[in-house]
Structure 1
Amino acid sequence: MTEKRPIDMSTWARRETFEHYRGRVPCTYSATVELDVTEFLAAVKATGRKVYPAQVWAIATVVNRHEEFRVSVDEEGNPSVWDVVHPSFTVFNPERETFATVWAAYDPSFPLFHDQAVELLATHRTSVNMFPQSDTPENVFDISSIPWMRFTGFDLHIKPGYDHYLPIFTLGQFTERDGRTTMPFAVQIHHAAADGFHTARLVNELQEVFASASEWVS
């Protein structure tokens, strides 16, 4: 059973920052970067795996390394940290030009997660419902993909966004240039949960995971 651990505000190094960006200056922010996915795509192609599930697993792996991207806040404003968070991701229905949102339990084993995600995507590709699963847990974070567009900036404007603490990620179209392939990657996060340092670390670690794909894609 997935649980969350209450944060001890009396000893939390982030207490002042959290209270400032939650109460005095409610603030979310987003950043868009370009990631090199050359080695990643080569590794996925060589094994016959699917690119999208591999992207989702890589992101979920880095997210679950760091507490700041697993923060939850209850109705009274008390923060806690989930033991694990699971990725929720979109699947496009080309006939209807609509999408469904599905979630998969995170597994540190890429092959196990990959097969689970592939089955979900196949099952719900023709879904007429936005949320076809009935068992979505609280501890999910969002990933969406826009493979038809290369972008240099992407922002979500969420009305109740100041009460949303788990990260949101958006993937863009691959671009080939000078023998390398890149992909735009957007991150949105509540400033009370994570600072620029934490987001930079996440991005840099994700780049490393993509670069080392031949070690985990199988």
Structure 2
Amino acid sequence: MHYFERRRDRFDLFDRMDSPAVNLCFPLDLPDYRPWCKEQGLAPFHVLLCAVLRAILKIDNFRYRVFEGEVIRIDRLMPSFTVVNQHNDLNFALFAWSDDLREFVARGIAAREEASAMTALNNRYAALSPRAVKDQVFITCIPWLDFTSIQHPAATLGSPDIPSLAWGKFRDGPPGRLLLPFSVQAHHGFVDGYHIHQLARQIAAELAGFMG
């Protein structure tokens, strides 16, 4: 929490606002990891999800939350993301973290299959305690659209402390590169544009690390 105390005055400034959220949408430039995923038999979405969440954990500003009126720093993440079921209705998939990429992907696929087979909202998500919810980042993927903006829902307009991330349709960039629309929404008391820039660079670094 030492780093947070340096910016507590910024937190106090933005937290008093009706909506303290900052939301940036931008083309995320990544190494094209899709051929590597094909060689390894790994699902590209779940590999990117792992890279995103690992990057989140390496940037303190994305680990701060507000719980019972106090700022806390989370020590872990519970991976979760949106899926569609057979009726094309949204549901939530969540699973236990693994440091091993292959196990992470396997757990994510199992969670996707479980959630997409449900017609009602996932009871595991609804049963989370208020504190356990803070160990998440809200993740959604809109693979059909090359979007340029997005408005993330917020349970309480004045408390967007859990970051919301979204990405869209992949498209080819320069040779060896991949571009996709990417959105980051977070509490401006914790996160500035510079930290979103750091996150983008770290995601690319995580993918490069997977590929060796």
Match of 2:22 among 29, 40, 48: 29
CA separation of 1:44 and 1:161: change in aligned 2, threshold 3 A = farther
In 1, the alpha carbon distance for the partners of 2:174 and 2:56 equals 31
AA in 1 matched with 2:96: A
Residue 143 (1) aligns with residue 136 (2): no
Aligned to 2:13: 20
Determine if contact 1:20/1:26 at 8 Å carries over to the other structure: no
Question: Shift in Å at residue 86 of structure 1?
Answer: 1.9
Residue 160 (1) aligns with residue 160 (2): no
Match of 2:79 among 83, 87, 102: 87
In 1, the alpha carbon distance for the partners of 2:156 and 2:45 equals 29
Determine if contact 2:20/2:159 at 8 Å carries over to the other structure: no
1:40-51 superposed matches below 5 A: 40-51=33-44
In 2, the alpha carbon distance for the partners of 1:214 and 1:177 equals 18
Match of 2:189 among 189, 192, 195: 192
Aligned to 1:113: 104
Q: Percent identity?
A: 21
In 2, the alpha carbon distance for the partners of 1:20 and 1:101 equals 33
More moved, 48-57 vs 36-45: 36-45
In 2, the alpha carbon distance for the partners of 1:177 and 1:63 equals 24
* TM-score, scaled relative to structure 1: 0.84
Aligned to 2:57: 64
More moved, 163-172 vs 131-140: 131-140
In 2, the alpha carbon distance for the partners of 1:159 and 1:124 equals 21
Determine if contact 2:80/2:136 at 8 Å carries over to the other structure: yes
Name the SS of the counterpart of 1:72 in structure 2: strand
Q: Which runs of 5+ in 1 are unaligned?
A: 1-6
In 2, the alpha carbon distance for the partners of 1:205 and 1:50 equals 20
Q: CA RMSD in A?
A: 2.2
Aligned to 1:78: 70
1:168-179 superposed matches below 5 A: 168-177=164-173, 179=175
Determine if contact 1:39/1:213 at 8 Å carries over to the other structure: no
How many positions carry a matched residue from both structures?
206
Determine if contact 2:167/2:183 at 8 Å carries over to the other structure: yes
Q: Which runs of 5+ in 2 are unaligned?
A: none
Question: Shift in Å at residue 25 of structure 1?
Answer: 6.8
* TM-score, scaled relative to structure 2: 0.87
- The superposition leaves residues 146-172 of structure 1 with CA deviations (integer Å, 9 ceiling, x where unpaired) of 011111222225361321212111110
CA separation of 1:159 and 1:72: change in aligned 2, threshold 3 A = closer
Question: Shift in Å at residue 208 of structure 1?
Answer: 2.2
Aligned to 1:4: none
AA in 2 matched with 1:56: L
Determine if contact 1:145/1:172 at 8 Å carries over to the other structure: yes
